[in-house]
Chains A and B, each alone.
Chain A
Amino acid sequence: MAIGVKILKRPTAETSYLRATLKAMVLTLRHIFRPKVTMQYPEEKSGKDWTLSARWRGTHRMLTDEQGRAKCVACGLCPQICPANCIKLVPGEDEQGNRYPLIYEIDEFRCIFCGYCQEVCPEEAIHVGVHYENSEYSRDRFVYDLERLCAQTHAVSTLWDPSDPKGE
């Protein structure tokens, strides 16, 4: 007998393979008629048991003002805080002295979706979105420029609120 092999004493009087088999077969047969848990994805995107959280951090969205211009003032905080270094910002200034982004690009492949850019933004301009369907046919389509960020329409993330940790 090998060392350290523990052999459990099995009750021989009450065990029955046949009866156990029949019981198991009744169980599996019952399961055939149970409601199914499968969510049929492309048609069903959320069910009563599962919806995407309002705190979900997905691909970005830039909010715009009434004139349709990006709210961004090119303060430079988001590229500063971004741990993945995926935001490219070149600031510009118009005749009235208002700063605006000349170039604003986010590389969604580098992005780790931490949501810091949204937290740090003083103008509530850049947001991470409640969105996950991002397929494209080529890699370069994953660098979102300002125009594309402004054109997104999905909901923005509420992020985690320390004063309301359970999201109630």
Chain B
Amino acid sequence: MTFFLIASIAKILVVFTVIMVGVALLTLAERRICAWMQDRLGPNRVGPEGLLQPAADGLKNLLKEETLPAQADRVLFMLAPAITFIPALVTMAVIPFGAPLSTPWGEVPLVVADLPVGFLYILAIASLGVYGVVLAGWASNNKYSLLGGLRASAQMISYEIALGLSTVAVLLLAGNVTLSAIVERQQQSLFTWNVFPLGLAYFIFTVAAFAETNRLPFDLPEAEAELIAGYHTEYSAMKFSMFYIAEYASMVTASALMATLFFGGWDIPFTHWDDAPPWTIWKTLATVVAFSLKVGCFLFLYIWVRWTLPRFRYDQLMALGWKVMLPLALGYLAVLATAIWVLHDRLGWAYDTRFALALFGVNLLIAVPLVFVLDRGRLVAGSVAEEHA
């Protein structure tokens, strides 16, 4: 019991520290990568290659004046940044980030809390994130902030459905909602990584996750051109900074989820050395590195897409969410459930590479009409019908 407590506290501290440092470095990475994409150099002055820039930014934000609008709801205004910040961090608790660590006192599973309901917990906590944004917008007592908050709630609710449905596919395949079980299921070979049998679900999940984390092209709650800065217009100093930390932390969480659900979690591809006991410190380290690399790739994807795509119009966003993503996710789920039923119950195949490749074929079959028919001037259309003269 004592060992469990000490191990848990240590894991919490480590995960928290790693995420906070990661978030700090991510702000720098974002600024430098966007600069490179625009043929600039980006911040490279503070420390070697600008590595201390996040520290300078943090110091600036700590020393800045805290503003409180006269008509704002004081309690909620103070509370909102925390309400956004906490769910973004708490989600990380159930994500397994490495092979179990063997210590002289026993094995430590490298996940803060190996909840049996892991996945449901993530869905539940992730939808809490929207409260902070809405409350911030409402408590500011500012039209634009309120509009930003409203947009955030509409957007997050719309895309949460697609997000949830896309992950149901993962649950169908894994037959379990515990994330460590889902990871274990994917370790057989490279093709049993869920991204192959569930490619389209991964696609839907990625798009929905972009919307959930309010990143471009879905950053309508901020939309500086229309709403100044949306829900955090009235915030300054560290409270403002909290929203940013929350945004980046939820990016990290979403990337970790993508890695866990679709890319084998901490599994190292092409080898089975890392999958089975006896657990050694080297196995643990290697798997943690593999996991970090996967998460890093998705974080890069986030930044890459952000500096490539322009923002959607509001009606386009809603149309995409309700008219494309939701039917697509539902239809996909129906097809996939049938396929799994046929393969598993009718033909009696065990879950292995053959099973995964068969499902991969099903995905390809669905993807073809999607790309060549549905995505033809329909996904993002004008807001008004053309005049027929």
Give the distance in Å from the alpha carbon of A60 to the alpha carbon of B358 in the complex.
80
Give the distance in Å from the alpha carbon of A22 to the alpha carbon of B121 in the complex.
33
Give the distance in Å from the alpha carbon of A28 to the alpha carbon of B379 in the complex.
22
Give the distance in Å from the alpha carbon of A19 to the alpha carbon of B304 in the complex.
16
* A39 and chain B: residue at smallest CB distance: B41
Query: Is the pair B384, A7 in contact by a Cβ cutoff of 8 Å?
Result: yes
| B381: A residues at CB distance < 8 A | 10
| A12: B residues at CB distance < 8 A | 376-378
A36 in complex: contacting residue of B40, B371, B378, B387, CB < 8 Å:
B40
Interface size class of B (residues with CB under 8 A): 20 to 34
Binds A, one of B31-39, B77-85, B330-338: B31-39
| B304: A residues at CB distance < 8 A | 25, 28-29
Query: Is the pair B39, A28 in contact by a Cβ cutoff of 8 Å?
Result: no
Q: Does B345 sit within 8 A of A, measured CB to CB?
A: no
Query: Is the pair A24, B40 in contact by a Cβ cutoff of 8 Å?
Result: no
Give the distance in Å from the alpha carbon of A120 to the alpha carbon of B89 in the complex.
71
| B41: A residues at CB distance < 8 A | 36, 38, 40
Query: Is the pair B376, A28 in contact by a Cβ cutoff of 8 Å?
Result: no
Interface size class of A (residues with CB under 8 A): 20 to 34
Q: Output the least CB separation between B172 and chain A (Å).
A: 25
Q: Mark A4-46, 1 if CB is under 8 A from B, else 0.
A: 0101011111111111010011011101101111101000000
Binds A, one of B2-10, B230-238, B305-313: B305-313
Restricting to B11-45, which residues have a CB under 8 Å from any CB of A?
33, 36-41
Which residues of B does A touch, CB under 8 Å? 33, 36-41, 304-305, 307-309, 371, 375-382, 384, 386-387
23 inter-chain pairs at a CB distance below 8 angstroms, sorted by A residue, are A7-B387, A9-B386, A10-B381, A10-B386, A11-B377, A12-B376, A12-B377, A13-B377, A16-B371, A16-B376, A16-B377, A17-B375, A18-B371, A21-B309, A24-B308, A28-B37, A28-B307, A31-B36, A35-B39, A36-B36, A36-B39, A38-B40, A38-B41
